[in-house]
Structure 1
Amino acid sequence: MFRWVNHLQFNLGQIILFILVIVGIGYGCYATVLHFQTASQLNEARKAMDDIRLVLIWSVKQQPNAVVKTCNFNNIQHVIKQDELKRMNQLLNWNLNIVQQTQYVEHIKVYAMNDLHTCMIKAYFKNNHFVSEHLAGKYIAYQYDLKNNKTECLTDIEKYSLVKSCTRL
């Protein structure tokens, strides 16, 4: 038995390289899962904001000169109950779900800007351990210029890969 042990030779460099490769692969898998989890949380906020945006645009088309009146959350909740929008919802197979908070979003604000033709929809992420560290306590907002039909995305999320679609608008 001692002869066999004496013949084993370990190359320390190869062992260290093997350990580093395994750790690198593990970290790569962890980072990928974390990125997709964060992207999923961000998409939840975007979905809620898109539903509000659809109702907002519908409401503004009905009352084009009343941006201040139409651009608030109470009005959007009222508009979603109108029969015309319910029929459009069924006809176009929309699944509108107007909510002010979700599992990861603390609250969504909808308000008119001072220029009286721009509306802002802003989602604030919760600041707890369930929300990704890249999103916790941050916001994403869409500013809709209803007069010129322009959209601008504003955010304080620092990770570019999460908000690159937002910055390309």
Structure 2
Amino acid sequence: MRKDKYDDLPEDERAVMLEKERNERAAAKQQEEAEQAQSLQARKAAEAKAARERQRALLSTPVVISGLQVFVPVTLTNGEAETEAMLLLDTGATTSVITPEVAARLNIGETDNVRVGVVGGKVLKARKGVLTQMRVGPIRRARQEVVIIRQRAGIMGDGLLGMTFLGGLKYTIDFQKQTLNWIP
């Protein structure tokens, strides 16, 4: 026969002590469950934050900022030909512009001749083409019209990223981190 720790106590005291022990075990169990729930909630919050950070990173495109000029890495595709170019972000440009050198890398052959107005009212002779796709970070746009203009070396990088691509997109530019941040 085994002796219980409260066997020496009177019946009513023994009942009180056993009830007290049950209450303490129940309180300890509740505390443990509360801590587990807090731990689970903290883990879920950390996972959600990590997911937001991953999403933010996916929606962030590194750029090169020189003064107030933002040069954006763009992947241009024309059929099977694909090339990278650094285009100057220009919300004042109606159409995206590429240099003849970029057009040559894309194997753009015969195109329509057009006249385009530029800042200052000057009108330039240019060529116009349609690319299969333009991609900046996670943003892809199919059938993008571009104008091919010869320019003085380096003024606008490999061309301009204009509103035919940027139109309807929401984004911010972080000048410190040098990123273009897309807003879903």
**TM-score normalised by structure 1 residue count:** 0.37
Q: Decide which structure has greater helix share.
A: 1
Relative contact order (C-alpha < 8 Å, sep 6+): which is higher? Answer: 2
Report the structure number with the largest CA radius of gyration: 2
Q: Decide which structure has greater strand share.
A: 2
